[in-house]
Structure 1
Amino acid sequence: MRGAPAAVVRTAVADEHPLPGTGGFAGALDTQAAVEHGRLVGGRGGRVVRDVLGREPVFVEAQRDADRAAGRWSFDPRRLVDPRLVDAGRVVDLDADTETRTWTLPDPAPEPDHHAAVERVRDAVLDRVRAVSADGLAVAFSGGIDSALVASGVDAPCYVAGFPDSHDVAAAREAAAEMDRDLRVVDLTHDDLVRAVPDVVRATGRTNPMDVGIALPLFLVAERARADGFSRLAVGQGADELFGGYAKVVSPADDHRVAADTVRGARRETVETLPQQLPRDVLTLRVAGVEPVAPLLHDRVVAAALALPADLLATDEERKVALRRAAEGVLPPGVTRADKKAVQYGSLVSRELDRLARQAGYKRRMDDHVGQYIRSLVDEGGDDAGPLE
């Protein structure tokens, strides 16, 4: 079991408790484990579980024919013949070949007392970021409020990846200076992208430009941190989804990107995308050789965020309202108010992938020209495109 003791998970299953006080979990109960080099990699039989937000990915064989190890599961999809990601909140009984939705994300009524709601967020966030051990830890740092809050809780070096003229590098330098933090910049080149694409694709199983563009800066930051001797990387994942960081949450009734017509409904839609997003990030970091640490995705933070009223999530003037108020007095004002770009754009990785694709002959008039280019890099790499560990 990853992320929580088996006893805690057993109780959460028995009580159908969706937020039992963990940072997420996945793995197997009552199973025959498979261990390689002293590390649990999968197994057969028993029950496979994945928490309500899917913070830990786990996979089972999609097919159970005679050519496969019946009921086999793994944390690494590359170890399976036909891997299927277990849905969040599910318990899969591999012996009985059944799957049950055990946990559903809570939908609490909004807290009417705004001060109490912000204080609950502040207490939860500060508790969890300060609980992170600095042992072997580095911090992925973009200069935005999410990563700055994570960095505020630990004495660890901060890393940012981006092309020299990127928004993220400039913002990280400014924030690190205001916070008096050690910042290490990973200056990206085209060669870095070309080299890293096959590793990212093999780890995640994804070739679409959006996912690859998000994963590449994470991979390259993690790779550098690992080379510098760090084994864990703290990230700010989850804050945008939980606290209303997306533009589509502001006026959902007028935004075609969401089905909901309320701010809280749109926020819930974004939270429900996490189980598909997080495997990409977790698998990317692990293939680069570091273990992800995501304190803003802890159950306590999730519970505080879910209880926020709409006007503490997003307004026409401000997004992540409660999180910014909670950060007052913790972060410098300039960092608290800093705008954030999605990592694939803030690092300029998306722009430069497009440039590389066009230079390689994949023109914009072609269907999915960047995706075609990404797949060509993987094909060129063949079976040796990246490490399995």
Structure 2
Amino acid sequence: MNTGEILSLLKKGIPENAAIPFSGGLDSSVLLALSKGAAITVGFPDSEDVRYAKRAFAFLSKGKHIVHFLDGREVKEALAACKKLAPDFVKTEVLVPIWAVCKAAKENGFSRLAFGCGAEEIFIGYEKFFECYEKMGEMEFLKMQRTEIEAVKIGDCRLVEEVCGQFGLEASFPYLNSRLIDDVLSIPLEERLGSRRFKKLLLRHIARGLVPNFVLFRAKKAVQYGSGVHKVIVGLESRGSCCEFREL
């Protein structure tokens, strides 16, 4: 399989007129470069995601770039809404910036969003993959990867869809195209494993020339940290400003 086929499958998975939730990271930058359309960035004004997204957007698209600045009041509102959906603190704080993206999309007339969910699982972006490979070997690693891909479909993606549904929006997940998954996983592991320092080796390879180098080699930062949301949520929780997380 050549890299052009992977990009073609990704592009086909982006609905027409969909906006890309855009952090300026590798996963969302690849989607934006393929769609050449609109992007929505959320974060506090001094957050890393806002800085990277503003810089990267100029290289990737001539469409509309909506930059939605967060404040404590909005985070508190989003947190209350997301706690009704998510089972624990970590998942809830991930949903908060997604909630804000959905709000901005609705306010700006978009009905579809194309998310980067699944890229970490398909292209080996998590530390736990490397730990599994080193301790258990290739066969167990491959089983774990398949399990993690299926888990994100029925876990994180469903939560994202629920948040989108609150705003009447449709969510799509181009990285979770079934044919793309099968084709990527058929590539020999040594060609896609990468290293702890440079994870997602295959995605970085196919993104060369598509995204600028400062995006290609940007260290992964989870959305709750890149947007600045985590620090604010921790402050709200420590002051008892929000309700308790529900028990499963």
Whichever of the two has the greater Rg, that structure is 1
Please identify, of 262-271 and 173-182, the stretch whose mean Cα deviation from structure 2 is larger. 262-271
SS in 2 for 1:159: strand
Question: 1:159, 1:184 within 8 Å by CA — same for their partners in 2?
Answer: yes
Give secondary structure in 1 for the equivalent of 2:155: helix
Alignment of 1:21-100 (within 5 A): none
1:321 matched to 2:197:
no
Secondary structure of residue in 2 paired with 1:161: strand
Letter aligned with residue 176 of structure 2: L
2:233 to 353, 373, 379: 353
CA distance in 2, matches of 1:157, 1:180: 8
| CA distance, structure 2, for counterparts of residue 125 and residue 218 of structure 1 | 25
Task: Give the corresponding residue for 2:30.
Answer: 149
SS at match of 1:251: helix
Match of 1:375 in 2: 244
In the alignment, structure 1 segments of 5+ residues that lack a partner are: 1-115, 362-372, 379-389
C-alpha displacement of 1:180: 4.5
Q: Greater strand share, 1 or 2?
A: 1
CA distance in 2, matches of 1:298, 1:229: 26
- 1:188-243 deviations in Å (ceiling 9; x for gaps): 111011112232233x2x24111111111111111111111110011111111111
| 2:78 alignment counterpart | 196
Q: Measure the CA separation in 1 of the matches of 2:94 and 2:196.
A: 27
- 3-state SS of the aligned residue for 1:250? helix
* Letter paired with 1:329: G
Report the alpha carbon displacement of residue 266 of structure 1 after superposing the two structures with TM: 4.5
Higher RCO (C-alpha under 8 Å, 6+ residues apart): 2
2-structure distance, mates of 1:132, 1:254: 35
* TM-score (norm: length of structure 2): 0.86
CA shift for structure 1 position 265: 4.6
What RMSD over aligned residues (CA atoms) do the two structures have, in Å? 2.4
Structure 1 position 248, deviation (Å): 2.0
Q: Which of 36, 39, 56 is 1:175 aligned to?
A: 56
Matches within 5 A, 1:221-370: 221-252=101-132, 260-262=136-138, 263-274=141-152, 275-311=154-190, 312-360=192-240
Counting aligned pairs with the same residue, the percent is 27
Tell me, yes or no, if the aligned pair for 2:37 and 2:61 is still in contact at 8 Å: no
Whole-Å Cα distance in 1 between the matches of residues 7 and 96 of structure 2? 27
Say yes or no: does 1:134 pair with 2:3.
no
Tell me how far apart the structure 2 counterparts of residues 281 and 330 of structure 1 sit (CA, whole Å). 27
Cross-structure match for 1:185: 67
CA distance in 2, matches of 1:323, 1:165: 28
Question: What CA distance in whole angstroms lies between the structure 2 residues aligned with 1:253 and 1:244?
Answer: 11
Aligned 8 A contact 1:248 1:266 in 2:
no
Q: State how far apart, in whole Å, the 2-side matches of 1:154 and 1:271 are.
A: 24
Q: CA deviation at 1:261?
A: 4.4
The one-letter code of the counterpart of 1:267 is: Q
Q: How many matched pairs? A: 241
- Report the 3-state secondary structure (helix = DSSP H, G, I; strand = E; otherwise coil) of the residue aligned with 2:187: coil
Aligned partners of 1:241, 1:321: CA distance in 2, in Å? Answer: 12
Alignment check: 8 A CA contact 2:9 2:180 kept = no
Contact 1:140 1:158 in 2 (8 A): yes
In structure 2, C-alpha distance between the alignment counterparts of 1:374 and 1:213, rounded to whole Å: 14
Please, what TM-score do these two structures have when normalized by structure 1?
0.57
The 1:325/1:200 distance shift into structure 2, 3 A limit, reads: same
Change (3 A) 1:276 1:334: same
2:43 pairs with 1:162: yes
